[in-house]
Amino acid sequence: MARSSRKDEILQAALACISEVGVDATTIEMIRDRSGASIGSLYHHFGNKERILAALYMTGTAQYAELLEQGFAQADSAEACVKLLVTSYIDWVAANPEWARFVLHSRSRVEASEVGEQLREANQRHYGRIQQALAGYREQGLFKPMPVDCFASVIIGPTHDFARNWLAGRTRTPLADCRELFAQVAWDSVRAL
């Protein structure tokens, strides 16, 4: 297993602080104390709290994107690709609940920050990669006709909603137990009849 970098340690410390006291109450000093990093190291790697939050957000979403990339390399059908969008999301959220809570609740804050444009570009690349993976299947008529910008919401909407409720402790059923159900719902929602 690779040794974590100082940056990773700082991000993990920030996530732990945010999970305990919330984003607004988390301070640079708390992150410093938790990570064992010096103030100089914090400012060298990130500059300020908002950049730490942005890096935390971008790192979390990049982990999900990496799961998709690995899956797309092996997916061999329209059904497999659609189900992958759901199962990768569930797998990442179930394995990283604190990070997922942060991502779900911090998007607007990161979008409004100085790295907002970087986030928008990363999202465009991410959605572009999804569209690229699905384009051939769309051209073959394997999906119901619908606006391209609605497609992802139709696929991930029910899963996203349940994940939010699971993260908030409002469900009895574990998220991972719903993996196959939500993957099938997504496929049934978009496949051509």
1-47: what fold? Arc Repressor Mutant, subunit A (1.10.10)
Amino acid at 169: G
Phi-psi region at 68: left, alpha or beta (left = phi > 0; alpha = psi -120 to 50): alpha
CATH superfamily of 60-190: Tetracycline Repressor, domain 2 (1.10.357.10)
pLDDT tens-digit readout, 6-53: 899 999 999 999 999 999 999 999 999 999 999 898 988 998 999 999
pTM: 0.89
What are the structural domain ranges in the chain? Answer: 1-47, 60-190
pLDDT tens-digit readout, 145-165: 999 889 999 999 999 999 999
Quote the CA–CA distance of 142 and 155 in Å, as a whole number: 14
